[in-house]
């Protein structure tokens, strides 16, 4: 918990779920049995504590005093509930060694480290492929010259006031911000910070992009191993209940790949389920088939069974014509396409119900997922028999730097969609993702987009995109 004195620049970030009950009472919920009652007058203040505004700015927005906002913060502050932004952001910069240090308390051990000032969700990743080429092009046009080939670019993907944004980090500084204020590139707002002019863009360490990335990964190896062992122990603890073979919901994305490998390290057997939607990328489908072959290798074949449930493309096109649009406030594709396919597969695999399920959701992805308990006990899931189950997230407290470092450390299979400019492996027309994703999808797969010419995507306009994506943990 933060022990610093009251200051107007305190920026609180809510880590738990704020829930309103039928009784009219409110609670902050950090997990099963871990909660705090919230006074009705405090709920509007807590909703503003998303890590983007200081206590002074929250007070101005709500028409109250800064002292009142600070008092509300102090009533609910706690490591599982509400913390200052600097106690959430893990990324630091070692100016002497020219290295990123990705560990929450790193600056307490080495005061010379400088925290990289990321905005929520503070989820940096290594830029590669299409996105790196695009960002390099923007920087080089601004500089009027080429960058050294080993210039490492990180990005942080967020959502503020209904608009997706990227913060671009180079040499330990946030040098650029891109606000995706429309579907297409010509509608986006690109801004350069004062740090852009202060960075030595000619600086080079290794001369090679991959070696430079791996230098940072090696520097964080000990912290990553501690994080991974915590996750392995969580898997062992949850699965020690001996309730039956656990299920891993497997998207083929980076988090599910890492979770699968952590299960391997734990020596725990599991069923893996991939459920398509019918609007899946061709690359995604090909990767899942490739992965099926990978899992038949000697290291994995005795641990995992991968079940592939393809999506119904014909039904997806039919529903698009009927519905006419996709929008975050009405994600009918889940209830009418994904869930029936997935739930049907689950009932075949677990006729008596799923006792333990794991998913790759991470708190650092967005403020909605940040409110998920790491372990949840759920009942009444529509479409399941005997649906009481333990629902766990083994990589909940990992950020993107951790995930990619782990993948490269263990040379795990990588979905090719990441190199093509996508931060999530999801449907090629999904309106819940960053518009950079949609722009690349249109460029790379015009043949798919031509099939839905009569349908609309809704949600990238500032007024229509909700602050929190409409999604459930199921």
Cis peptide before 452 (omega within 30 of 0): no
Could you tell me if residue 128 is inside a domain? yes
Same domain (yes/no): 453, 325: yes
Longest Cα separation, the chain: 64
The H or E element that residue 239 is part of is: helix 221-239
Could you tell me if residue 83 is inside a domain? yes
Same domain (yes/no): 252, 279: yes
CA dihedral (210, 216, 221, 223) in degrees, to 10, reads -140
Could you tell me if residue 422 is inside a domain? yes
Q: 8 near 56, Cβ under 8 Å? A: yes
For 260-318, how does the pLDDT look when each residue is reduced to its tens digit (9 = 90+)? 999 999 999 999 999 998 989 999 989 999 999 999 999 999 999 999 999 998 898 88
Mean pLDDT of the chain: 90
Helix intervals (H) in 240-374: 254-266, 282-295, 313-323, 332-333, 339-349, 367-370
Same domain (yes/no): 320, 353: yes
For 420-438, how does the pLDDT look when each residue is reduced to its tens digit (9 = 90+)? 999 888 888 887 888 899 8
Of 156, 153, 258, 257, the C-alpha closest to 196 is 153
List Cβ neighbours of 79 (8 Å cut-off, separation of 6 or more): 1, 15, 87
Q: 414 near 453, Cβ under 8 Å? A: no
Assigned token pair, 184: 């297409």
What's the full length of the chain, in residues? 474
Q: 203 near 98, Cβ under 8 Å? A: yes
The H or E element that residue 74 is part of is: helix 66-76
Cα 203 from Cα 198, distance rounded (Å): 12
Cα 12 from Cα 28, distance rounded (Å): 15
Same domain (yes/no): 103, 190: yes
pTM: 0.93
The CATH number of whichever domain residue 424 belongs to comes to 3.40.50.620
Cα 28 from Cα 14, distance rounded (Å): 9
Same domain (yes/no): 344, 277: yes
Domain count for the chain: 3
Torsion sign (Cα): 233, 237, 240, 244: negative
For 36-79, how does the pLDDT look when each residue is reduced to its tens digit (9 = 90+)? 999 999 999 999 999 999 999 999 999 999 999 999 999 999 99
473 pLDDT band (50/70/90 cuts)?
A: very low
Same domain (yes/no): 229, 168: no
Cα 410 from Cα 362, distance rounded (Å): 20
Cα 373 from Cα 234, distance rounded (Å): 13
A 10 A CB-CB count for 236 gives 15
Supply the range of the domain harboring residue 17: 12-87
């Amino acid at each position: 918990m933060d022990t610093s004195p009251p200051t107007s620049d305190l920026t609180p970030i809510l880590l738990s779920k704020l829930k309103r009950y039928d009784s009219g009472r409110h609670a902050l919920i950090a997990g099963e049995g871990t909660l705090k009652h919230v006074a009705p007058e405090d709920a509007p203040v807590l909703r503003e504590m998303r890590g983007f505004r200081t206590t002074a700015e929250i007070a101005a927005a709500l028409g109250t005093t800064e002292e009142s906002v600070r008092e509300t913060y102090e009533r609910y502050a706690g490591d599982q509930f509400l913390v200052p932004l600097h106690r959430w952001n893990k990324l630091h910069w070692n100016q002497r060694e020219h290295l990123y240090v990705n560990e929450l308390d790193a600056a307490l051990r080495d005061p010379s480290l400088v925290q990289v000032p990321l905005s929520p969700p503070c989820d940096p990743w290594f830029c590669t492929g299409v996105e790196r080429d695009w960002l390099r092009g923007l920087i080089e046009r601004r500089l009027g010259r080429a960058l050294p080939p080993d210039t490492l670019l990180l990005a942080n993907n967020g959502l503020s006031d209904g608009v997706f944004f990227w913060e671009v980090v180079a040499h330990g500084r946030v040098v650029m911000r891109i606000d995706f204020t429309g579907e297409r590139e010509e509608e986006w707002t690109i801004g350069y910070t004062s740090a852009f002019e202060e960075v030595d863009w000619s600086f080079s360490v290794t001369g090679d992009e991959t070696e430079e990335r791996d230098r940072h990964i090696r520097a964080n190896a000990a912290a990553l191993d501690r994080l991974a062992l915590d996750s392995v122990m969580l898997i062992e603890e949850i699965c020690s209940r001996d309730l039956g073979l656990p299920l891993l919901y497997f998207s083929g994305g980076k988090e599910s790949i890492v979770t699968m490998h952590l299960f391997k390290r734990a020596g725990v057997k599991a069923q893996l389920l991939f459920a398509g939607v019918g609007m899946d990328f061709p690359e995604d489908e090909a990767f899942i088939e490739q992965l099926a072959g990978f899992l038949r290798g000697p290291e994995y074949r005795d641990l995992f069974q991968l079940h592939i449930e393809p999506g119904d493309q014909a039904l997806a096109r039919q529903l698009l014509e009927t519905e006419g649009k996709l929008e975050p406030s009405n994600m009918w594709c889940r209830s009418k396409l994904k869930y029936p396919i997935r739930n049907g597969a689950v009932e075949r695999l677990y006729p008596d119900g799923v006792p333990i399920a794991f998913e790759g959701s991470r708190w650092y992805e967005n403020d909605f997922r940040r409110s998920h308990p790491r372990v949840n006990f759920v009942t009444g899931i529509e479409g399941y028999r005997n649906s009481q189950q333990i629902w766990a997230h083994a990589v909940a407290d990992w950020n993107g730097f951790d995930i990619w470092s782990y993948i490269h450390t263990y040379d795990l299979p990588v979905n090719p969609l990441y190199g093509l400019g996508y931060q999530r492996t999801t449907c090629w027309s999904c309106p819940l993702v960053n518009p950079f994703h949609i722009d690349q999808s249109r460029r790379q797969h015009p043949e798919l987009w031509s099939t839905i010419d009569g349908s609309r995507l809704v949600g990238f306009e500032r007024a229509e995109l909700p602050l929190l994506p409409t999604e459930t943990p199921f």
